[in-house]
Amino acid sequence: MKRSIIVTGGTKGIGRAIINLFADKGFDVVTCARSEADLEGLKAEMNTKYPDVEIKFMAVDLSVREEVYKFVEFARSNVHALDVLVNNTGIFIPGKITDEKEGTLEKMLDTNLVSAYYVTKGLIKPIQNAQGHIFNMCSTASIMPYANGGSYCISKFAMLGMTKVLREEMKSLGVKVTAVMPGATLTASWEGTDLPEDRFMKAADVAHAVWHAYAMSPRSVVEEIVIRPQLGDI
């Protein structure tokens, strides 16, 4: 039976890199993003590179609870046993807690944390059926606060906390749970930066770390993956 992976926020950066790598390993893919055009572009790329891989997608905004439920229903209709779930949807809005616009905290919590909470709850049965693996995309901001990180750091600290709780709950069920904490990675979040490209990590490097954590035997689990640029944090 073919294996399957669900990746939220799959059209750019780390999410896209994970999809490419797992598709290369023969996994069927279910994903989502806000842009229908970006999803169509991803599917066209996958169909060309991996013609034997099935990719299903849905255009949704996971910061909206009703759309989370729609995606969960869509995903459940396309997978019965889910090998890998990657909660990757996220947004970064820089700013200080004292200066952030009204609603910034709620926006980042809804996108970065609450969406993953409800996606995981909705898909826990197919994950259990496959004794699968849940990866939550946290950040080095989950363990190291910084000025101008504001509500982003809050949401990522909370995401790591949720991941730790989930790890404890899933132990006896044979489901693995891993927190992925990348440092500065060259993705859309850094568009317009003046820093040189080689100062950033590659999204593909994060994807390979996820793959190798997944590929371990059932007797072992990587609980946390922390990856930083070779020259340190930016």
pLDDT of 21 higher than 80: yes
pLDDT at 128: 96
Q: Check residue 185 and report its DSSP letter.
A: B
The half-sphere exposure of 142 on its side-chain side, counting CA atoms within 13 A, is: 24
Put simply, whether the predicted model's pTM sits higher than 0.85 gets the answer yes
**Which SS3 state, helix, strand or coil, does residue 17 take?**
helix
Q: Return d(Cα 90, Cα 152) in angstroms, integer.
A: 9
pLDDT of 186 higher than 80: no
pLDDT of 185 higher than 90: no
For residue 167, the surrounding DSSP H or E stretch is helix 150-170
For residue 42, the surrounding DSSP H or E stretch is helix 36-49
pLDDT of 111 higher than 70: yes
pLDDT at 46: 97
Q: Return d(Cα 107, Cα 102) in angstroms, integer.
A: 10
Q: Return d(Cα 116, Cα 30) in angstroms, integer.
A: 15
Within 10 A of 171 (CB to CB), how many other CB atoms are there?
12
Handedness of CA 39, 40, 45, 47 (dihedral sign): positive
Tell me the pLDDT band of 191, cut-offs 50, 70 and 90. Answer: low
Q: Give the DSSP letter string of 138-159.
A: --GGGT---TT-HHHHHHHHHH
pLDDT at 198: 85
Q: Please give the domain boundaries of the chain with CATH numbers for all domains.
A: 4-227 (3.40.50.720)
- The amino acid at 96: K
pLDDT tens track for 199-217: 899 999 999 999 999 999 9
Q: Which residues, including other chains, have CB under 8 Å from residue 120's CB and lie 6 or more apart?
A: 85, 87, 134, 166
SS3 content of the chain, % helix, strand, coil (to 5): 50, 15, 35
Residue 20: C-alpha distances to residues 14, 28, 207 (Å): 10, 11, 9
